[in-house]
Amino acid sequence: MTAFLLRRLGQALLTIFGVATLIFFLQRLTGDPTYLLVPDTATQADIDALRHALGFDRPLWVQYLSFLGEIARFDLGKSVVQTIPVADIIASRLPYTLALAAGALLVACGLGIPVGVALALGRDRWIARILAGLVLAAQSMPTFWSGILMILVFAVTLGWLPPSSTGGIDHLVMPSVALGLLSMATFARVTRTALLEELSKDYVRTARARGAATGRLLLRHLARNASIPVITVAGLEISNLLAGAVIVETVFAWPGLGQLTVQSILARDFPIVQGVVLLGSFVTVALNLLTDLLYSAVDPRIRLGSAR
Amino acid sequence: MAHPLKPALLGAALALASALVLSVPAEAKDRFVIDLVNEPSTLDPQLQWNPDSYYVYRNIFDNLVTRDDKGEITPQIATSWKVLSDTRVEFEIRDGVTFHDGSTLTPEDVAFSVNRIIDPKLASPQQGQFDKIVKAEATGPHSVVLTLSGPYPALLAQLVKLSIVPKHVVEAVGNDAFNLKPVGSGPYKFDSWQRGVAVTLTRNDAYWGTKGPFAIAVFRAVPDAATRLADVEAGSADLAVSLDSDLAGQLAASGKGKRLYTLTERLAYLRLNPTRPPFDDKRLRQAAAYAIDKEGITEGILGGLDKPIGQMVTPAHFGWFEDIPGLPYDPDKAKALVAEVGGTPKVEIATGSFFDQRVVQAIQQELADVGFDASIRLVDTPTFLKLIQQGAQGGPALAVSRSSCACQDADGALYQLFHSGNPWTIVENKDMDAWLDDARATLDADRRLADYRKVSTFIATEIPVVPLFQTVAIYGAAKPLQWTPTPNESLFLNRMTWSD
């Protein structure tokens, strides 16, 4: 188990190093932030002076080495635009992203798993067809459209919820639903497939023959066996929710990392983009590791390193 | 959930409210919420310089001089000014102005503010706007003298943007801490900055001038324009910046707010590089100018609030002339000129993602209609800015761009674009250089006007650029807000009033 963990940690570090290198050079292909910082009428001398102050006049490999040196010391540098440490900026945005991801996951699981169960159990009935249609609709609505629509209905017309920005828990409702509806479909589909597969297995037929009711069957046997693909998907969806909230965060003026990333990309604020991407790769790598460990907890057959 | 007490409570509240309304006719507005696009980059007024930053910090800081709602330069921290010689200007500093920490604003603070922004060590992006200033010295209990590298007629126009920072605070806490907790002398005090969400200011009740109408002002970051509109409609924001004409129309039609707008000093233009084919042929530059229906663009695409323009300065600038209209829309003449040259000249319109692409597509179509083989090269903003900063020889043959010096003076608007040797220029002409240099080096307004008349006439006849339109700034506002937006895109809270 230790050897396995060490091997996986080594792979994880290598992955993060690769991502850091890629993001560093990719960004530098996209232009120079200095041009965006100076006023319209800046002279060449202004531009050169600012570029020098920001360190973008150094050779690329020097910049790269100093970047690697900084991340080795866990220093993400200073924002080019806001001139404050990137770590501070990310730390101030992260709670919002986590809150939104949690809210969305709640919506996605809370709706998606029951719907998936209903789709599997009632697969030939009309109710399942209607549900399947609704799931498809929820997944097909782009969030920039469904988000604005929700704002117009629930905030402007009905006045039930605040239209945007942050504050109490009521501010979190619409962004969570807008974001959660997208992953809800994924959860429903995976739950349905996993459950159907389990339903076709021999032990289910045996249990049924012994007179076990569907509810008991579901809770005692199926829930646990069908949960593995759902956990896998949850792991993937969490990284998706953390990364994919860009549009929802923009529409609802939710100050999470997605919004920060887009603004920083547009402003060519390299240190922030690097910081967010590094954080994202770290989270993805860590979640993958965690998912593997969870598998072994749920299913003894894939418990690694144990030769029973 | 029905609560038995609810109707009774509601009734009582209504009675109380109506009593209050009857006794207090104009209810004061305590908390004023403004939706910006992004949060400010910095609140140190001498660092970043973009609208979302100065919308906020111009309320925290006073400037040396300012412009009134009519656009005239008027006293603010400086009460008067005197030209001592071609290179020395003396400013009389207002008495009795205090910073938010209670200390008095002195000539030392003014001199410090000037010397700080021109110091290369600060690396302020604004440095170039003040680069004619050599130094500032406090010369008496109420006076500051600025020393210039030469006569500089646009000095006051540039000083409109110079905020006064307290020397003792900046020196004590350093630049980074000052940026996080700015201290100024303006009508509003910095209260808090919730990163990514909002900056909150509170009214400075000890302000020397017109006090702000709201006890608290909250500047929020709301990147999506449709959301800013919804915020105003739902009443959760009182003012929203940067709406387009469609959204502003929706707001007016909904009856839940109103649109406020003003023509800015920012203008859109087409660059026809006279040093590169095919536009090294003057007839093709004329053809391109005749081909473009500016009215069609502003009316048909942009909603009619932007204004077609014939010069590279706007009526908001010093150095604008009523009688230089530029070439009119005349597609027949354009076709004839292209036919005279022969063939279908191939042109590529370079443009950046900041520019309204509907306008670029219309220009492409109009050029194609008169016989050009026009295509669009759309790149991201930094790449585009780099592209058009290559001077005449290295720059693209054709580009669509926007420009503003935020100084309302022809010197700022024209010098960088039309004087040889500058990165932005596409004109290399000795006469133009002489006129621009002469206008920059004299304080005689008539002589400057005569120079700029020659410059604008040259542009209208030689057509290195086709000025397209003066852009409009549209705001969405709650109905009780009374406010006149200005061409320099400032949001001075103490020039607003609130009346139901």
β-pair partners for B374: B347
Residue A157 in this model has a pLDDT that exceeds 90: no
Residue B158, phi-psi category: left (phi > 0), alpha (psi -120 to 50), beta (remainder):
alpha
By Cβ distance, the residue of B126, B197, B227 closest to A163 is B227
Residues of A within 8 A of B128 (CB-CB) are 38-39, 41-43, 45-46
Interface test with B, best of A86, A97, A156, A172 (most B CBs within 10 A): A156
State how far the alpha carbon of B430 is from the alpha carbons of A228, B281, B313, B416, B419, in Å.
77, 19, 21, 15, 9
pLDDT in tens, B385-413: 888 888 878 888 999 998 888 888 898 88
pLDDT in tens, B417-446: 898 888 888 888 999 999 999 998 888 889
Q: Among residues B351, B368, B345, B374, which one has the least CA distance to residue B276?
A: B345
Q: Are A276 and A283 in contact (CB under 8 A)?
A: no
The whole-number pLDDT of residue A183 equals 84
Residues of B within 8 A of A43 (CB-CB) are 128, 131, 416, 422-423
CB count in 10 Å sphere of residue A176: 24
Q: In which element (H, E) is residue A274 found?
A: helix A270-298
Instruction: Report the C-alpha gap between B194 and B191 in whole angstroms.
Output: 10
Instruction: Report the C-alpha gap between B202 and B142 in whole angstroms.
Output: 29
pLDDT in tens, A98-113: 899 899 999 988 888 8
B456: phi then psi, degrees, rounded to nearest 5:
-70, -30
Q: Which chain B residue's Cα is nearest to A259?
A: B223
Instruction: Report the C-alpha gap between B451 and A66 in whole angstroms.
Output: 51
Tokens of B214: 């709201």
Summarize chain B as % helix, strand, coil (round to 5): 35, 25, 40
By Cβ distance, the residue of B180, B220, B224 closest to A251 is B224
Q: In which element (H, E) is residue B466 found?
A: strand B465-477
Tokens of B38: 């992004």
Residues of B within 8 A of A156 (CB-CB) are 230, 233-234, 256
CB A163 to CB B120 under 8 A?
A: no
Distance from the B44 Cα atom to the nearest Cα atom in chain A, whole angstroms = 10
pLDDT in tens, A181-231: 888 888 888 888 888 888 888 887 887 787 777 777 777 777 777 788 888
By Cβ distance, the residue of A44, A46, A83 closest to B127 is A46
Q: Are A188 and A112 in contact (CB under 8 A)?
A: yes
Instruction: Report the C-alpha gap between B234 and A174 in whole angstroms.
Output: 15
The whole-number pLDDT of residue B458 equals 94
Distance from the B41 Cα atom to the nearest Cα atom in chain A, whole angstroms = 5
By Cβ distance, the residue of B38, B47, B404 closest to A40 is B404
pLDDT in tens, B183-242: 999 999 999 998 888 999 999 999 999 999 999 999 999 999 999 999 999 999 999 999
Instruction: Report the C-alpha gap between B174 and B64 in whole angstroms.
Output: 22
The whole-number pLDDT of residue A301 equals 67
CB B412 to CB A41 under 8 A?
A: yes
Residues of A within 8 A of B38 (CB-CB) are 263
CB B198 to CB A46 under 8 A?
A: no
CB A163 to CB B128 under 8 A?
A: no
Q: Which chain A residue's Cα is nearest to B131?
A: A46
Instruction: Report the C-alpha gap between B117 and B323 in whole angstroms.
Output: 39
Residue A155 in this model has a pLDDT that exceeds 60: yes
Distance from the B34 Cα atom to the nearest Cα atom in chain A, whole angstroms = 12
Instruction: Report the C-alpha gap between B471 and B308 in whole angstroms.
Output: 9
pLDDT in tens, B253-285: 988 999 999 999 899 999 999 888 899 999 999
Contacts of B398 (CB under 8 A, 6+ apart): B270, B271, B272, B273, B279, B288, B347, B348, B349, B350
* Range of lowest pLDDT (A294-303, B116-125, B354-363, B429-438): A294-303
The whole-number pLDDT of residue A302 equals 61
Residues A98-125, buried b or exposed e (16+ Cβ, 10 A)? Answer: ebbbebbbebbbebbbebbbbbbbeeee
Q: Give B362-398 as a 3 state SS string.
A: HHHHHHHHCCCEEEEEEECHHHHHHHCCCHHHHCCCE
CB A43 to CB B415 under 8 A?
A: no
pLDDT in tens, B294-310: 999 999 999 889 999 99
Tokens of B278: 């095919």
CB A35 to CB B382 under 8 A?
A: yes
Q: Among residues B425, B479, B477, which one has the least CA distance to residue B455?
A: B425
The whole-number pLDDT of residue A300 equals 65
Interface test with A, best of B43, B236, B317 (most A CBs within 10 A): B236
CB A46 to CB B180 under 8 A?
A: no
Distance from the B210 Cα atom to the nearest Cα atom in chain A, whole angstroms = 30
* Range of lowest pLDDT (A51-55, A212-216, A304-308): A304-308
By Cβ distance, the residue of B125, B227, B403 closest to A164 is B227
Residue A294 in this model has a pLDDT that exceeds 80: no
CB B49 to CB A259 under 8 A?
A: no
Distance from the A216 Cα atom to the nearest Cα atom in chain B, whole angstroms = 36
Place of tokens 């007490």: B5
Is it true that the peptide bond before B278 is cis, omega within 30 degrees of 0?
A: yes
CB B380 to CB A151 under 8 A?
A: no
The whole-number pLDDT of residue B35 equals 94
User: Residue type for A25, please?
Assistant: F
The whole-number pLDDT of residue B23 equals 39
CB A37 to CB B224 under 8 A?
A: no
Confidence of residue B15 (pLDDT cuts 50, 70, 90): very low
CB B403 to CB A250 under 8 A?
A: no
Interface test with A, best of B231, B254, B378 (most A CBs within 10 A): B231
By Cβ distance, the residue of A33, A89, A253 closest to B382 is A33
Contacts of B92 (CB under 8 A, 6+ apart): B78, B79, B80, B81, B82, B142, B143
Q: In which element (H, E) is residue B191 found?
A: strand B188-194
By Cβ distance, the residue of A39, A49, A260 closest to B49 is A39
Residues of A within 8 A of B415 (CB-CB) are 41
Half-sphere exposure of B155 (CA within 13 A, CB side): 26
State how far the alpha carbon of B429 is from the alpha carbons of A302, B392, B398, B442, in Å.
79, 11, 19, 21
CB B403 to CB A45 under 8 A?
A: no
Q: Among residues A134, A240, A121, A125, which one has the least CA distance to residue A180?
A: A240
Q: Which chain A residue's Cα is nearest to B227?
A: A251
Residues of A within 8 A of B48 (CB-CB) are 37, 81, 83
Among A10-19, A188-197, B4-13, B136-145, top mean pLDDT goes to B136-145
Residues of A within 8 A of B120 (CB-CB) are 49
Instruction: Report the C-alpha gap between B155 and B130 in whole angstroms.
Output: 8
Q: Are A210 and A223 in contact (CB under 8 A)?
A: no
Confidence of residue B2 (pLDDT cuts 50, 70, 90): very low
Could you tell me how many CB contacts below 8 A there are between chain A and chain B?
155
β-pair partners for B308: B469
Q: Which chain B residue's Cα is nearest to A50?
A: B123
Q: Are B216 and B201 in contact (CB under 8 A)?
A: yes
Distance from the A240 Cα atom to the nearest Cα atom in chain B, whole angstroms = 22
CB B230 to CB A38 under 8 A?
A: no
Q: Which chain A residue's Cα is nearest to B194?
A: A92
Q: Which chain A residue's Cα is nearest to B412?
A: A41
Q: For B117-132, what is the mean pLDDT? A: 85
The whole-number pLDDT of residue A243 equals 65
Which DSSP state fits B97?
-
By Cβ distance, the residue of B236, B382, B406 closest to A36 is B382
pLDDT in tens, B68-104: 888 889 999 999 999 999 899 999 999 999 999 999 9
Residue % of chain A over a pLDDT of 90? 8
Q: For A79-85, what is the mean pLDDT? A: 86
Residue % of chain A over a pLDDT of 70? 95
Distance from the B173 Cα atom to the nearest Cα atom in chain A, whole angstroms = 15
Which DSSP state fits B103?
P
By Cβ distance, the residue of A31, A82, A92 closest to B41 is A82
Residue A289 in this model has a pLDDT that exceeds 60: yes
Q: Are A101 and A95 in contact (CB under 8 A)?
A: no
pLDDT in tens, B131-155: 889 999 999 899 999 999 988 888 9
